[in-house]
Amino acid sequence: MSFLADRIAVVRTGFTSTFWIANSLELFERLAFYGSKAVLAFYLANKVGLRDEAGTITGWFSTLVYSLPIVAGVFVDRYGFRKTLLTCFAFFSIGYFSIGVAGLEWGSAITDIVGVRNYIITVIVLTAVGGSLIKPCIVGTVAKTSTPEAKPLGFSIYYTLVNLGGALGPIVALTIRKDLGIEYVLIMSAITSALLFVGTFLFYQELDNSDEEKRTFGKVFQDMVLVFKNFKFISFLIIFSVFWLMFWQIFYLLPFYATEVLRYENFEILESLDAMAVIIMTVPMGVLLKNWKPIYPMVIGFVLASVAWFIVGVFGTATFVVVGAILFGLADATQTPRFYDYVSSFAPKHQVGTFMGFAFLPVAIGSFTAGYLADWLRLTFMATNPSTMWYILASLGIVGTLLVIIHNIVYANKGT
């Protein structure tokens, strides 16, 4: 009971009101993001007509969203958290709406001017550039509005709300797609982003950022050179991107498999299961494995992810897709919290912050490669031997597992 009382006390006194406002904004931003993400590849393929490139283009979107925060922090330093957040939500609202226009009846009058493909790529880049501003704003706010003793709990709350948005977004998308049409899922995300713009304008109070080292584009470039010269660090990030290559297939490949092979139309439900499992399992797995070296939970996570897609391939039913998706969520909950611990061990002393700024790089690399792979798998095997798609993904997971183990052995004497 004393532990619970301590946690309650931390919640009451450890955070400012801006902490809760920022996390509320993050919850609904993730709902809009994952709602649109749940249907984007399917929408581009079946509504917009870009069937051969749907996964690839969707992969570019997430690649930009997760790689540009490295640069986006400069805008936070220069213009402040509030203005940067307002810019983010303005870009999101315009961008999501513009993507949705391509699926509306009157939208062809606009898309035909430059061509559908050119139009979609342009508005997706616009949306992603704006969206990349959200990460440094919210993460920075959580750090600055939490007391030192409350900060771990603060980031746990943040991570939980991210996954709650990830779980609810696809469910909301399913309802809108069924009732109004798939293009209106993007319109929903646009309206949500516009409301978040208003909420930020009315309720978010600017934070004092004067005590932080001011980053510049030159400093960012210097950091990139520093990080990319560290071979053991960058090679691990590239290896670990295999996990995210497998993860993004939940959005790039699974909707097509569910609808075209399994004849299961409510594919958004399947997409929400990973996030639900992460919400439920992260804390128990953290407690269970807290005394393990980080490498072991990460290896277990890779193995579980590989087994998840192998199960989908072997059984080929909606029931076992559910099993596989939940198992993948367990893999996510097992490895993700320890990943950051492990990555920090590669950073030279006094440069941990610089190196941790690149921790999202595997997510971006994984998305980029996952989009191309999803299109190739779908166009090559979906009609003839769909199980092969999942066997290939599982095999890549096993290769990734072995590479993580080998990498750790090679650098074991470096304290990792």
Sign of CA dihedral 389, 395, 401, 404: negative
**In the numeric block, which tokens belong to residue 260?**
């075209």
Same domain, 411 and 285: yes
CB-based contact 332:213 (threshold 8 Å): no
Does residue 317 fall inside a structural domain? yes
DSSP string, 202-267: HHPPPPP-TTSPPP-HHHHHHHHHHHHT-HHHHHHHHHHHHHHHHHTHHHHTHHHHHHHTS----H
Last residue of a domain, one of 215, 240, 268: 215
Residue 285: give the domain boundaries.
Answer: 216-416
DSSP 21: H
CB-based contact 392:374 (threshold 8 Å): no
- Which residue ranges in the chain fall short of pLDDT 50? 1, 415-416
Report the amino acid identity of residue 124: I
Does residue 4 fall inside a structural domain? no
DSSP string, 31-100: HHHHHHHHHHHHHIIIIIS-GGGHHHHHHHHHHHHHHTHHHHHHHHHHH-HHHHHHHHHHHHHHHHHHHH
Find, among 393, 240, 399, the residue nearest to 311 by Cα.
393
> Residue 174, class by beta-carbon neighbours within 10 Å (0-12 exposed, 13-18 middle, 19+ buried)?
buried
Report the amino acid identity of residue 84: T
CB-based contact 94:122 (threshold 8 Å): no
Same domain, 400 and 352: yes
**Integer distance in angstroms from the first to the last C-alpha of the chain?**
36
- Measured in residues, the chain has a length of 416
pLDDT of residue 415: 45
CB-based contact 407:236 (threshold 8 Å): yes
Same domain, 127 and 247: no
Same domain, 196 and 222: no
Same domain, 136 and 264: no
pLDDT of residue 68: 83
Does residue 127 fall inside a structural domain? yes
pLDDT of residue 223: 78
Same domain, 161 and 250: no
What distance in Å separates the CA atoms of residue 35 and residue 133, rounded to the nearest whole number?
19
Does residue 272 fall inside a structural domain? yes
pLDDT of residue 18: 87
Domain count, the chain: 2
CA angle 362, 296, 313 (to 5 degrees): 65
Give percent of the chain with pLDDT exceeding 90.
Answer: 61
Does residue 5 fall inside a structural domain? no
pLDDT of residue 416: 41
pLDDT of residue 11: 57
Residue 115: how many other CB atoms lie within 10 Å:
10
Same domain, 164 and 23: yes
Same domain, 137 and 242: no
User: What does pTM read for this prediction?
Assistant: 0.90
Does residue 1 fall inside a structural domain? no
pLDDT of residue 301: 94
Same domain, 156 and 19: yes
Last residue of a domain, one of 215, 246, 279: 215
Residue 201: how many other CB atoms lie within 10 Å:
12
Same domain, 251 and 289: yes
Same domain, 157 and 221: no
Q: How far is CA 44 from CA 2, 50, 116, 190, 344, in A?
A: 53, 5, 10, 17, 38
Does residue 244 fall inside a structural domain? yes
pLDDT of residue 229: 86
What distance in Å separates the CA atoms of residue 35 and residue 39, rounded to the nearest whole number?
7
Last residue of a domain, one of 215, 241, 276: 215
CB-based contact 241:62 (threshold 8 Å): no
pLDDT of residue 404: 94
Does residue 366 fall inside a structural domain? yes
CATH code of the domain containing 223: 1.20.1250.20
Same domain, 173 and 57: yes
Find, among 334, 339, 333, the residue nearest to 356 by Cα.
339
